[in-house]
Amino acid sequence: MSRSMAPALWRPDSRLWRPNRRSFLQALGGSAAALAALGPTPAHAAGTADNILFFYFPDGVPGWSQNGDASLWHCTGGETDFSLGHTVQALAPFRDRCLFFNGLTMGDTDNGSHPGGAKKLLTASDHGNNESIDQHLSRSVGSDRPWHHLYLGAQAGADGASGDKFITYPVAGSTMAPEDDPRRAFSSLFGSGGVSSGGSGSGDDGGSTETDPAVARRLSVLDASMGEIHDLKARLGTTEKRKLDLHLESLYELEGRLNPGGSGGGSGSGGTDWGGCDDPSVEVGSLTDSNLYDPALFPDIISAQIDIAVQAMACGMTRVVTLQCSHHTSDLIMSRFPGSEMYDPGYDMRSHQASHYGSGHDWGSREFAAFDQQRRYWVDRFVELLTKMDSIPGRTGTLLDDSIVVLCTEVCDGNTHQHHDLPVVVAGGGGGALHGGRLLNTGGRYHGDLWVALGRAMGEDMWSFGSSGSVLDGVLT
Amino acid sequence: MKPPVRLVALLTIAVSCGGDADPDKSAGTDSDSGLTDASTCDHANAPPRALRLLTRREYAHTIDDLFSWLDGDDPASCSTHTDCSVAFESCLSGSCRPDPCDVLSVAVGPDIASSSQSVVIAGAFNDWASTVEQGGAPLSWSAEHNLHWAKLALPEGEWPYKLVIDGSVWITDPGNPELIDDGSGNVNSLAILDCSDPGTSDGAFAPDVDPVSDFPAESRPSHHPFDNAVSEGLVTTPRADALLSAADTLAGQIADAAHLLPCDTGASAYDNEACWLSFIDELALRTWRRPLASAERERLFSYLASESDTEAGVHFMTQVLLSSPHFLYRTELGELQPDGRYRLTAWETASLLSYTLWGTAPDTELLDAAARGLLDTSEGIAAQAGRLLSDPRAGTRFGVFATAWLGVDAVPTMSRNPDLYPGYTTELGQAMVDEVAERAATIALEGDGGLRALLTGRDTLVTPELAEIYGIEAPGAGWAPATVPAERPGVLGTPALLTATAHSDQTSPVRRGLFVRERILCQDLGTPPADAGGVPDVDPDASTRDRFDQHSNDPACSVCHQYIDPVGFGFEHFDSIGTWREMDGAHPVDATGELLGVEGIGQMDVSTFYGLDGLAPMLANSEAASTCFVEMSWRNALGQPPEQAPCAVDELSERFDADRPIRDLLLTLVAADAFVHRSEPVAEESL
C-alpha cells in the first residue's frame, strides 16, 4: 500500500503558547514586575519529575499462558542483574532508565475481565470508582501549566467505543473521550484555534494574541459563566455539585491559558522552553476527515500523537499526558499497518483476535505469532516515544531524564486476561526521582502503590490513591 | 402468547453465569399490582434532580433553530400583535412576522412613560394631533411586555412625527435613530417607510459551527447506548474549550447580521433600550428556554451596553448567553412539592418534552403552552406531545434513538476487508445507518407500528446498493420503498446491524448473540469468572459455527455462552456486510439456533429456530423484549437508568407488548407522573 500523496505538514498559523517574552510583556503592560515574572519555572525540588506520560495499549501481552508457559514479557533475574523479556527486548538501549515489575496485581475484583481491568488501571479502584491518576495529578502538580492534562488517542474511539473503553476518569465512575484527531490536537495546542480575532470562521485567522480584543472578551465571558455557575451551585447545594465543580474547574483552566499570571490556574508562564519548542509541527500523512479510523493510517496517527505529546511537554504546556492506543477488546486490524512486521493485506488479524491465541505459546499458531509481533510493535512505539524525548535537552539531561513514561495495558496475558502480574514498564529519569535500571519483584503488591510512588516523584505529597494505601518500594531514589 | 414471566426470578439465577446478579434488571413490583390506568406507584419513585448537558446533536439542532428563528423562518402563531415581540413584530395571518415595510412601529418603555400615562403619535400624517380626541394615534400599554406600543400603517414615504405624553410633553421617538430638522429649530423623528428594499441577507443564515465534529464525543456508559447519559454530561476542559469557541463564533455571526436584528446596532444601546430588552427576552427564551428574571435581564443588557460599539456589545452579550450554564444544561430541578418530590417547572417540562421528542429546544407554541400553564397537567402534556409526534422532527429524533439503541452508529467508520468486500465504502455504511433510521421512524411515527413491526417487518427504504445487499431488484434510482425477503425480517436483518455485529472478514456469533441479549432482551451476561481461562484451541479450517461450538463445549465457558453463541448462529446466513450467503468458506451454512431462557438468564426453557425469520418472532413474542424496549425508551428520554424509577417503568412495561403502537408508548411515557417529578439524589454513585 503506497501513499498517493506526499506527507502533509501541519503548521500553526500563530503560536499562542510559544513562550514569547515580548507579547507576554505586552499583556502585563511591560511593567518591571512583569520582567520579574519571566524566567525559568519555579524551581523543583531536587529529584522531582517534570512530566508524566501514560502510554496505553490494549489487550495485554503474551504472559503466563493457560497451560503455564512462562511469560514472554516479564523479565527474570535479580534486581540489577536481570534479563529482559522477549517482548521488551527493544528497550535494551534504555534499560538503565527503566523499571520493570513482576507481581503487580490489580486485585481480584472482575479478574479475568477486559472492561474490569480497564476500569481499574488508572483509577486504582474497583469498577472505576475514583478519578484516574492522570486526572488526579493534573489537578495538583499539573495545574501550573496551561494544559493541566493532555489526553490523546490513536483510534481510541473506533467502532463506536465509549464508556469503559476510555481509561481516563475525570470523576469517579465517568470517563471522557480522548482527542483522536492529531490535527485537532495540534491546533488546540499550537494553532490559533484557541482564539479567533474575528467573529466568525474556524478561527485560523492567526492574528496577534494577548492584546487581541477577542481574548479580553473571552476572559469576560468566562468570568460571567463562572459567576452564573457559582450562583447555581449556591442554589442547588449538593445536587449535581460534582458536575458544576468540574465545570468550574474547566473554566478556571481555560482562564489560565488566556490570562497567564491571572487568578485562574497558576503561573501559566508556559514553563521553561528548553529548545524543543522552536517550531512545533506534526506530520499527518494522508489523514483526512473521513479516514480517521482507517487502520492503514494508524501508524501515521500514533506517530503524530507521539510528536504532539512530546512537543507539548517540551514547550512546557503540560506536565501530564495520557496517550491511549485503541481500547480493550480491540478490533483494530493491526495486519493493515503498512511497513510493520504484522502487515498482511490478505488476512485481517485484529488485536483482540490475536490475543486469544489459545492455551499455550504455540509459535506455529497464526494467532500467537501475530500476537507476538503486535506486542513488540507496541513496545517499538514506546521506544519511539522515549527516543524522541531523549533527543530534547532537558533540565537534568534530556526531556526523558526529566520525565516519567509509563507503558501499560489492562490485563496481563491476553488469552487468560488475568489482572495479576500486570505488564507495566516505567521509563525515564523522573528528574532524578526514579531509581532505574532495575527489576522489582514486588511479590503481589497492588498496582495502585506504583501510582502513589510516581505521584510522589512528580512532587505531590501523596501516600494513598484509590484503593492503595502505600508507596511501592524501590521505585524512588 | 407470552409465556408466564417473573422478572424477580432473574435476580436469583444470574450468579451461575459468572458472577454478579444482573445489575440492569429493575427490582420490579409484585405481579399483583394490576393493570390500571392510574399510577399506583409510590411517590418516592422519581429520578434524581439533574442538570443535563446538551449533547452535540442537541446543541446543533438548537442553534440551527435559533438561527432560523432569527432569520424569520420560524413564525410563531398568534392572534394579536402582543402575542408577538410587539416592539418589532406584527401578527399577520396568524403568524408573528417582522413588522411590514409600510408600518411605523413604536414602543416606549416605562422609563419614558409610566403605565398610567398616555402616549400618542403626532405627525404630518394626522396634523400633529397631540391628543386622541384631535386624532392623535394612541399607544397601548402592554403589561406583558412592560411597554407602550402602537403600529401605524402609513403610505410609503418619509413622515416626520413625535410622541406626546399626557397631551403636553413632546419627545422624539427613542426607538428611532432617524431625525429631521424642520427648519425652525425643531428636531422631529423621521419614519422612513420604503417597501422597495427587501433588506434581507443573501443565502441562508446558518451557524458556522459543527458540534458533532468540533466537540468531544460523549461518553456512553455500559447499558446506556445513548449519548445523553446524565452522569456523563460533564464539561471537561476540552469540551469547555470547544463550547467557548463555538459561542464566540455564533455570537459573532449574530452580531454581524444587523439586518436580522430588530434594533439598530448603529446607535447606542441606551437609545433603543426597550427594543434591546425585548430582544434579549426573546433570545433568552430561545436559548435559556425560560423567561428571564429581571436581574438577569438587566445584567445581560449591561453586557450589551458595555461596548461603545453596539455590535460588539451584541457579540459579547450573546457569547455570554451561549456560554451560560443556563444554556448548556437543561435543568430538571423542579419545585418542591408537599410530598417531598420536585415537580418540574412548566419551562423544564417544555424542554424535556421537546428534547425527548424532537431533540431540540421548545418551539414557540410549546413555550406558549408553558407560559399558559398548559403543561401543568398530564393531559396538557399529552396534547402537546401529540402535536410534537405528528411533526417530521419526531421521526428524525426517533431515528436517532433507533440507530443508537441498535448500536449501528459506528458502521460508516468500521473497516471491512477490501478483498472480500471491495464495494464497501463509508458512503455505503452511511446509507445502511440511514435505512435503519428511516425504517424505524416510518414504522413508529408514520404508521401505528409496534415493536413487532420493528423486529419482524419487511417494508423499508433502500438505495440500489442496499437493494443489492438485500438481494432484491433496485426499486428506483435513489431511495425508494421496498419489501425485503422473508428470511431477513426487521432490524435484525438490516445490513447495518449485520455489519455492526461482524468483524471485518468474518461473522461473529458471539457479537450477534450478545447484541440480542443486551439490546433486545436487556439481559446482562456479567463478567467472565476469574478461572474461565482463555479460549480453547480451535481448528482454523472448521466452519465459524464449528469453531464456536467447540468453545461452548468447555463447561467453564458454556455456562454463559450457551445463552450467546446459539442465538448468534441464527445469523450465520449473513456475511460481514449483511449479504445472504449459502456457504461459509468450504462449509454450507447451518443457521439453526437456540434461544435459551428468552425471559431471563438462568431460565432453562429453550426454543429452537432456523435463521432470523425464526428468531425474530420469538423475540417479538417475549415479554423481555417489550420490557427492554420500554427501558431503552426510558433511558433515551431521561438519560438515567430505569432503576431510578422502577415502579413507573414497570407500569409502562406491564401495559405494553409488541403489538401496541410505539407512538402510544411515547405518549404514555411523557405523560407519566414520574416523567415530570424528580427526587433529591441520595448519594453520588456510578451507574
Q: How confident is the model at residue B143 (pLDDT cuts 50, 70, 90)?
A: confident
Q: In chain B, positions 657-686, which contact chain A (CB-CB < 8 Å)? A: 680-681, 684-686
Residues of A in contact with B241 (CB under 8 A): 188, 194, 254
Residues of B in contact with A246 (CB under 8 A): 234-236
Per-residue pLDDT at B404 = 98
Q: Which residue of A has its CA nearest to B505?
A: A348
10-residue averages of pLDDT along chain A (477 residues): 36 32 30 31 63 98 94 97 98 98 96 95 98 98 96 97 97 97 94 34 37 89 97 95 97 92 44 60 87 96 97 95 97 96 94 92 95 98 98 95 98 94 98 95 97 97 96 93
Residue type, A35: L
Cell numbers at residue A344, please?
498482511
Q: Is B23 on the interface with A (CB under 8 A)?
A: no
Residues of A in contact with B208 (CB under 8 A): 200-202
Mean pLDDT of chain B: 88
CB contacts < 8 Å between A and B, how many?
219
Buried b (16+ CB within 10 A) or exposed e, A149-171: bbbbbbbbbbbbbbbbbbbbbbb
Q: Is B535 on the interface with A (CB under 8 A)?
A: yes
| Averaged pLDDT for residues B107-126 | 92
Q: Give tens-digit pLDDT for B236-251.
A: 999 999 999 999 999 9
Q: Is B585 on the interface with A (CB under 8 A)?
A: no
Per the CB < 8 Å rule, is B686 touching A417? no
Residue B144 φ/ψ, nearest 5 degrees: -60, -40
Per-residue pLDDT at B21 = 37
Residue type, B14: A
Q: Which residue of A has its CA nearest to B420?
A: A346
Per the CB < 8 Å rule, is B247 touching A221? yes
Per the CB < 8 Å rule, is B221 touching A163? yes
Per-residue pLDDT at A18 = 30
Residue type, A180: D
Worst-scoring range by mean pLDDT, B64-73, B166-175, B217-226?
Answer: B64-73
Per-residue pLDDT at A203 = 31
**Is residue B390 over pLDDT 50?**
yes
Per the CB < 8 Å rule, is B534 touching A359? yes
Buried b (16+ CB within 10 A) or exposed e, B594-626: bbbbbbbbbbeeebebebbbbbbbbbbbbbbbb
Place of cell 459543527: B210
- Whether the CA torsion A307, A310, A315, A320 is positive or negative: it is positive
Among B301, B415, B416, B576, pick the best mutation site for testing chain A contact (most A Cβ within 10 A): B415
Give the C-alpha distances (Å, rounded to integers) separating A204 from A86, A193, A198, A312.
47, 6, 10, 20
Closest among A175, A163, A155, A120 to A451, alpha carbons compared: A120
| Averaged pLDDT for residues B498-508 | 95
Q: All domains of chain A, ordered by start, with CATH?
A: 37-180+293-457 (3.40.720)
Distance CA B2, CA B401 (A): 26
Instruction: Using CB atoms, pick whichever of B232, B244, B303 lies closest to residue A174.
Output: B232
**Is residue B31 over pLDDT 70?**
no
Strand order in the sheet with B147-153: B103-108, B147-153, B140-142
Per-residue pLDDT at B91 = 76
Give the C-alpha distances (Å, rounded to integers) separating B181 from B172, B187, B447.
11, 4, 66
Per the CB < 8 Å rule, is B504 touching A111? no
Helices A213-236 and B237-256 pack at an angle, to 10 degrees, of 120
Q: Give tens-digit pLDDT for B398-420.
A: 999 999 999 999 999 999 999 99
Select the highest-mean-pLDDT range: A26-35, B15-24, B619-628. Answer: B619-628
Q: Is B256 on the interface with A (CB under 8 A)?
A: yes
Residues of A in contact with B201 (CB under 8 A): none
Residues of A in contact with B544 (CB under 8 A): none
Q: Give tens-digit pLDDT for B253-262.
A: 999 998 899 9
Per the CB < 8 Å rule, is A348 touching B504? yes
Among A240, A241, A287, A421, pick the best mutation site for testing chain B contact (most B Cβ within 10 A): A240
Per-residue pLDDT at B94 = 62
**Is residue B71 over pLDDT 90?**
no
Per-residue pLDDT at B259 = 85
Based on its alpha-carbon atoms, the radius of gyration of chain A, rounded to whole angstroms, reads 22
Per the CB < 8 Å rule, is A228 touching B325? yes
Q: How far is A1 from chain B (nearest CA, A)?
A: 12
Per-residue pLDDT at B530 = 61
Q: Is B529 on the interface with A (CB under 8 A)?
A: yes
Instruction: Using CB atoms, pick whichever of B252, B415, B536 lies closest to residue A333.
Output: B415
B211 neighbors B57 (Cβ within 8 angstroms): yes
Per the CB < 8 Å rule, is B216 touching A293? no
Cell numbers at residue B390, please?
405528528
**Is residue B17 over pLDDT 90?**
no
Q: Give tens-digit pLDDT for B296-338.
A: 999 999 999 999 899 999 999 999 999 999 999 999 999 999 9
Q: Is B623 on the interface with A (CB under 8 A)?
A: no
Could you tell me the pTM of the whole model? 0.82
Q: How far is B170 from chain A (nearest CA, A)?
A: 40
Residues of A in contact with B256 (CB under 8 A): 199-200
Instruction: Using CB atoms, pick whichever of B316, B413, B536 lies closest to residue A293.
Output: B413
Residues of B in contact with A417 (CB under 8 A): 528, 534
Per-residue pLDDT at A289 = 84
Distance CA A121, CA A59 (A): 13
Closest among A377, A373, A370, A433 to A407, alpha carbons compared: A377
**Is residue B68 over pLDDT 90?**
no
Q: Which residue of B has its CA nearest to A65?
A: B534
Per the CB < 8 Å rule, is B535 touching A356? yes
Task: Give A307-353 as a DSSP string.
Answer: HHHHHHHHTTSBSEEEEEES-SS---BGGG-TTSTT--TTS--BHHH
ipTM of the complex: 0.87
Per-residue pLDDT at A307 = 96
Residues of B in contact with A218 (CB under 8 A): 244, 248
Within 13 A of A202's CA, how many CA atoms are on the CB side? 9
Distance CA B147, CA A133 (A): 58
Q: Is B505 on the interface with A (CB under 8 A)?
A: yes
Q: In chain B, positions 25-54, which contact chain A (CB-CB < 8 Å)? A: 48-51
Per the CB < 8 Å rule, is B232 touching A175? yes
Residues of B in contact with A349 (CB under 8 A): none
Residues of A in contact with B502 (CB under 8 A): none
Place of cell 445502511: B432
Closest among A226, A197, A209, A221 to A270, alpha carbons compared: A209
Q: In chain B, positions 424-443, which contact chain A (CB-CB < 8 Å)? A: 426
Distance CA B535, CA B513 (A): 17
Q: How far is B440 from chain A (nearest CA, A)?
A: 20
Instruction: Using CB atoms, pick whichever of B232, B236, B255 lies closest to residue A250.
Output: B236
Give the percent of chain B with pLDDT over 70. 88
Instruction: Using CB atoms, pick whichever of A159, A162, A221 lies closest to residue B320.
Output: A221
Residues of A in contact with B237 (CB under 8 A): 147-149, 249-250, 253-254
